[in-house]
Amino acid sequence: MVVRHQLIRRPPHALWEVLRDESRYSDWVVGTHSTCPSGQEVWPRPGATLHYTVRLGPKEFEGTTVVRRHDPPHALELEAHSGPLGSARIAFDIRPWGEDTLVILDEHPLRGVGGALHNSVVDLLMQQRHRLMLGRLARVVEESAPQRSEQSADV
């Protein structure tokens, strides 16, 4: 299990605007080349699915992510299915932190090879990936939503 946190210098509603936009996932999810909705449910309601493509050099891998829990503005939990690698639970715990947002990301393998071969080396690699991913998420949110002082100046 890998748990990592990030302070995002915007309020929770700004983070939710990014999480609600399935087309933005490739902007911040490390390794994801493209995403598109699939299925009947509207993202990010429970049961909604997102198809994604990961590129590693000349190779492409495809997978899907399913929303398992949607509790705005507090939590979003996903299950990422990566074919033969299995699936992983990815949980975002979202907390107001003054005028900012504290995001706690918890990921662990659930099924398949990823779960069977899970060890401390894999956790170390996931920690590095999460550091990059949460940094990207913070940048996308902060660039998408003006700061409160910027909003006041525009009024």
Q: Where are the domains of the chain?
A: 2-28+68-145
CA–CA separation, 95 and 28 (whole Å): 19
Decide: 11 and 96 in contact? Cβ < 8 Å: yes
Judged by DSSP in three states, 78 sits in strand
Judged by DSSP in three states, 91 sits in strand
Query: Residue 149's pLDDT band (boundaries 50, 70, 90)?
Result: low
As given in the structure block, the two tokens for residue 60 are: 């492409």
Decide: 115 and 106 in contact? Cβ < 8 Å: no
pLDDT at 151 exceeding the cut of 60: no
Q: 99 vs 9, 28, 76, 134, CA distance in Å?
A: 7, 22, 20, 18
Find tokens 């060890």 and name the residue: 119
Query: Residue 154's pLDDT band (boundaries 50, 70, 90)?
Result: very low
Query: Residue 6's pLDDT band (boundaries 50, 70, 90)?
Result: very high
76: amino acid identity, one letter: L
Rounded to 5 degrees, φ, ψ at 78 are -125, 155
Domain 2-28+68-145 fold is: Alpha-D-Glucose-1,6-Bisphosphate; Chain A, domain 4 (3.30.530)
Per-residue pLDDT tens digits for 31-81? 788 888 787 889 999 999 999 888 777 888 899 999 999 999 999 999 999
Sheet with 32-38, side-by-side order of all strands: 2-8, 100-111, 87-97, 75-81, 59-71, 49-56, 32-38
89: amino acid identity, one letter: R
